[in-house]
Structure 1
């Protein structure tokens, strides 16, 4: 059965699309039209505009396009959603927002204090890993998918934790937590990869389906209300719509295991690209500052020899 039976609104989320369009226009207004009203502002660069545009586009693709509908039918597609939303869209949006805006956000008294705590490297990597793992516990995910408010709150909170995860890697300024070049960033990425592995392993190696909302029955149909209007679901009630098996021939267990595998593979690919970029930046920094680093080492040896 084709997913087009759910209708245009469920497939393309026009209200969500309009919300993102308004957000993009507000972004342009602040960074271009009204920029002179803010002290310390800087011109919007082409790379920032591209990153922010791609970030919003990925948010719409994962949460507003037919991909979102498929994510409620197939667990494997849900995990692809998570990988793209949390590991690609989140850092793109951080890089797309000019640093002068971030500086003003972190300058807000209470908000800035909270953000500095949440973006400390140790806190942020543990926070994201814990949120991701808890989110995908069977009892939690099934409960979330049966409540529109809970689903919205948990999804937004998980996305914020992803922003916190990426912040120390992207930030190069002193007004907020950041990581030093080289080994610190590499260790941070590896730690994040290790910490979310147990959640993926649990999904991959379990020998029975664990998510009620991805199985045949009333729970799955109720969970579809997250992206399908109630009137549409009522109209489809007499068409034999009983579960995800209507849309795919893949066994539920295989779909579940594939979801864990795809999440881990995508995470490793994304982290691998980031590690490569970090290593190249580290290498170039060492090469371009070789004389200065050598001089520092010589002075350090001389200082140590004075105490021996």
Structure 2
């Protein structure tokens, strides 16, 4: 299916990365379970929270170490799916899976406290969306894909900035939650707007932008970092990325841009609806709690 049958189990499932993610999951279950008594204010963690964390870890593994990751080296549309899973789906699930008392312990770590300015809403939004857009400038994207260490470092930085971006919306700590519902709605719109230029460039480009998905030689070199075997042998066997793709490179590129923007719109629109609904309920509840004279004064003050 999609050419995956030509690759080994190790190529498809990245055993070392799988072990690493399993260790993180086991560590989490130990911290929120038997070791929780070592944390101040620790309370039992529901299975819902545990399930969200495990699902987030699974999504991150699937995107960065599973078959979706391999397909992302062969088709740009799957590359954008890995981006969406890695930075729009996995981070909020992982963050919502961490209990309040564990977050409180984490934010007290000195290095994190000194960098707290990075979590300011506008800074975090500009950081993540800026780095994401920068990465998809064709020359930068192809360079990153062809240099393994740079590739890994860039993806780690993107993950950290994605979590900083999500912090404004998912912050569970009452003492550090300052944004109003209206402010959060504005912040959601800001993130939706900031990602639009990069997706627009990809969708409306008149030709393939990325040599990694259109030039057979460069594609083979990039593939050499994610699968076993000689890149020259890979090129001789498959001839290039078009072997695995039913679409032309340009159409594949357009599908990828649309897919990324669609997933972002669905996720942020859902959060926007949730924030708006809670804000609307709160406003109506406050109005209901007012006596008639207070309601009259409030109405006059807004006129």
Shared fold (TM-score, shorter chain, > 0.5): yes
For these two proteins, the number of residue pairs brought into alignment is 301
- Unmatched runs of 5 consecutive residues or more in structure 2: none
Shift in alpha-carbon separation, 1:249–1:277, aligned structure 2, 3 A: same
2:20 corresponds in structure 1 to: 19
Distance in 1 between residues matched to 2:4 and 2:223, nearest whole Å: 12
Structure 1 position 202 matched with structure 2 position 201: yes
Structure 1 counterpart of 2:264: 267
Q: How far apart are residue 175 of structure 1 and its match?
A: 4.1
Are the aligned partners of 1:4 and 1:11 in contact in 2 as well (CA < 8 Å)?
no
Shift of 1:174: 4.0
1:13-38 CA-partner distances (Å, limit 9, x unpaired): 12111111111110011111111112
Answer yes or no: is the 8 Å Cα contact 2:80–2:256 preserved in 1.
yes
Which ranges of structure 1 fall in alignment gaps of 5 or more residues?
A: none
* Closer/same/farther in 2, CA of residues 121 and 236 from structure 1, 3 Å limit: same
Q: Report what 1:135 is aligned to.
A: 135
1:42–1:100: 8 Å Cα contact kept in structure 2? yes
Is the Cα contact below 8 Å between 1:106 and 1:175 reproduced in 2? no
Shift of 1:155: 0.5
Cα pair 2:220 2:234 within 8 Å, conserved: no
Tell me the secondary structure at the aligned position of residue 240 of structure 1.
helix
| 8 A contact 1:119–1:177 mirrored in 2 | no
Number of the residue aligned with 2:244? 247
Give 3-state SS (helix, strand or coil) of 1:73's partner: coil
Question: What is the TM-score when the length of structure 1 is the normalising length?
Answer: 0.90
1:51 and 2:52 matched:
yes
Asked if 1 retains the 8 angstrom alpha-carbon contact of 2:40 and 2:101, the reply is no
What SS is found at the alignment partner of 2:44?
Answer: coil
- In structure 2, what is the Cα distance between the partners aligned to 1:41 and 1:214? 49
* Inter-CA distance 293–199: structure 2 relative to 1 (3 Å threshold): farther
Structure 2 partner of 1:87: 88
Could you tell me whether the CA contact under 8 Å between 1:103 and 1:175 is conserved in 2? no
Matched, 1:69 2:70: yes
The residue correspondences of 1:1-308 to structure 2 (distance < 5 A) are 2-114=3-115, 116-176=116-176, 178-181=178-181, 183-229=182-228, 232-233=229-230, 236-237=233-234, 239-292=236-289
Distance change (3 Å), C-alpha of 1:295 and 1:89: farther
Pair 200,167 (structure 1): closer, same or farther in 2 beyond 3 Å? same
Deviation string 1:173-218 (CA, Å, 9 cap, x unpaired) is: 244355222x211111111110110001111111111111111322
TM-score normalised to the size of structure 2? 0.91
Inter-CA distance 90–297: structure 2 relative to 1 (3 Å threshold): farther
Query: Separation in 2 of the partners of 1:105 and 1:54?
Result: 21
| CA 48–215 in structure 1, closer or farther in 2 if over 3 Å, else same | same
For 1:161 and 1:297, how far apart are their aligned partners in 2?
45
CA shift for structure 1 position 293:
6.5
8 Å contact from structure 1 (residues 106, 176) kept in 2 = no
Equivalent-residue separation in structure 1 for 2:125 and 2:97 (angstroms): 22
